[in-house]
Structures are given as C-alpha cells and as structure tokens.
C-alpha cells in the first residue's frame, strides 16, 4: 500500500523535531528550521504559525497515543499483570514510532502554552493515575508483591520514559526481544 505523500507542514514538523531533539526547543529558531528545510524563514509561516505550533503538534500527538493506549488497557478484561505488560509494549511501540516526539515530550513539554500545557498535564496525570490503579489492584489481588505503589510506578515509568535515549544508542534491537526482555525484567526483576 503506498504511503500518503507528506505535506509541507508535516515535513516542517519532522525537520523541526529533529532539531529540537539535537539542540533543545529553546535553542532552535524558526530561521534554523527554515535553513534545514532549504527555504526562507518567511516562507515557513505560510505553512505553520510558529515554533509553538510545531511543539504542541509533536507533543500532543504522542500524548494522545499514550492516552488511547491506556484507554484500551483500562477497558480490557486482562489481569493487572497483563495490563502492565501491555503498557510496557505500548511504550516500546511509541518509542520506536515517535522517538523525536518523545524527546520533545520528555524534554520540552514545559514550553507548551495555555490550553496545550493544561491538556498535556491532564493527560499525563490521568495516565499515571490509571497506571497507579492497575498497580494497586495487582497488589490487592496478590499478583504483585506488596511494595509501595509509587516506587513501582516510578521504577517502571522512569525506565520507559528514557527508553528512547537508550534505544537510539543501542542500535536496532529486535522489537520482540526488547518487549519480551523488558517485560520480564520490569515485572520479575533480575533475581
């Protein structure tokens, strides 16, 4: 099936996201983006309102992917452990499909403005609250050892949120191996 042609706006977002990832949002100007695109900065504004639009498009797209994934997990009839396995797999899929967006989400979300910032923070808090409730129900059912839910949540999420950094350096590791081993290490530990 042929891929749909990329629009000029999508192309700008891809190029900008790469620059944000390399230098950070604040260090990249519209002029830098235009130069990387091989066009004049003024021409960029025919396609995009500015850097803020690029950032919010990038971050909110990734945040919505996580939110949709979590919604499916929450309505599933799976056990808490199966739900956590699925969440780990979702993080790995998003890491592979949206590494630039994830870099922006992790490093530059605080530069979002107004409704975009409010919307992002709300999605993130709901995501964490859902994850926390899965962990708590796993502990109540005796599927998960009685450890502090916040420690479990932090341990899993901090690993998953920085996966994109490690995955790039590591080179192309087979995604199925990554899913299997990461699920095993995060859920069963190493001993």
What is the Cα–Cα distance from 160 to 87, expressed in whole angstroms?
A: 10
pLDDT of residue 153: 95
- Report the pLDDT value the prediction gives residue 99, as an integer from 0 to 100: 82
d(CA 105, CA 86): 21
This prediction has a pTM of 0.87
Structure-token pair, residue 111: 């530069």
- Identify the segments of the chain with pLDDT beneath 70: 1-5, 171
pLDDT of residue 4: 64
Q: Identify the structural domains of the chain with CATH numbers, from first to last.
A: 51-188 (1.10.357.10)
Q: What is the DSSP code string of 49-118? A: S-HHHHHHHHHHHHHHHHHHHHHHHHHS---HHHHHHHHHHHHHHHHHH-HHHHHHHHHHGGG--HHHHH
Distance CA 47, CA 37 (A): 12
């Amino acid at each position: 099936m042929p891929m749909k042609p990329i629009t000029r706006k999508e192309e700008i977002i891809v190029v900008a996201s790469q620059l944000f990832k390399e230098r950070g949002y604040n260090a990249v100007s519209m002029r830098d983006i235009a130069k990387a695109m091989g066009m004049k900065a003024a021409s960029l504004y025919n396609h995009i309102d500015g850097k803020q639009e690029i950032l919010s498009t990038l971050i909110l797209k990734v945040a919505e992917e996580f939110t949709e994934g979590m919604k499916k997990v929450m309505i599933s009839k799976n056990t808490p452990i199966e739900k956590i396995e699925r969440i780990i797999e979702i993080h790995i899929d998003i890491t592979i499909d949206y590494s630039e967006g994830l870099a922006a989400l992790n490093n530059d979300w605080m530069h979002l403005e107004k409704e975009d910032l409010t919307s992002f923070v709300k999605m993130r808090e709901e995501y964490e609250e859902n994850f926390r409730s899965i962990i708590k129900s796993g502990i109540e059912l005796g599927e998960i050892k009685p450890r502090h839910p916040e420690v479990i949540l932090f341990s899993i999420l901090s690993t998953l949120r920085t996966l994109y950094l490690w995955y790039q350096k590591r080179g192309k590791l087979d995604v199925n191996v990554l899913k299997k081993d990461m699920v095993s290490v995060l859920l069963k530990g190493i001993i």
